[in-house]
Copies of this chain bind each other. A is one copy, B any other.
Amino acid sequence: MTRTLIAQPLTKQAFAPFGDVIEKAGAEKIAINRGNCIRHHALSVADVKGEGSQVGINIFAGKPYALPHTLDMVERHPLGSQSFHPLGDDPWLVIVCSDDDGKPVDPIVFMAGSDQGVNLNPNTWHGVLTPLYNQTDFLVVDRIGEGNNLEEYFFEKAYSVELS
């Protein structure tokens, strides 16, 4: 028996338990630069822990994943948030889980538009970066610092992720 997960649209409301959606819709808007620019303000904030830790800016270059996608593991970063914003034109998948006493449960798959990023709260179980269709670069804002900031969990039985 395959366990199937169907992607749902990424919305601020549905994603709220896991972090922030980084998008213009619904943002606080501030006109700057003599009206030539609209600042969509503080869509999320970085949250890093541990002495000497910093907020770094990185580019992740990700190969696309085929569909249906086999989800056999998730990971989390206890010491910091991690944001992803696509620099390409394709939709992508955001996969998150709730936590039950240290184990990831109830995976949810969100279909994100090319104009949507996310910032995962610290210690939130999530699937690896999952571009679709084309190799895609993502701007990533996360913690730079010492200490173990990665926990992985392999499911006994994989999930099959489908779009519909």
Contact = CB atoms under 8 A, between A and B. Distances in A.
Interface of A: 22-24, 27, 32-33, 36-46, 54-63, 65, 83, 85, 87, 115, 117, 119, 128-129, 137, 139-141, 144
A62 B38 CA distance: 7
A45 B144 contact: yes
Contacts of A46: 46, 54-57, 141
A39 B55 contact: no
Copies in the complex: 2
Contacts of A117: 57, 139
A137 to B, nearest CB: 7
* Residue of A24, A57, A137 with highest tally of chain B CB at under 10 A: A57
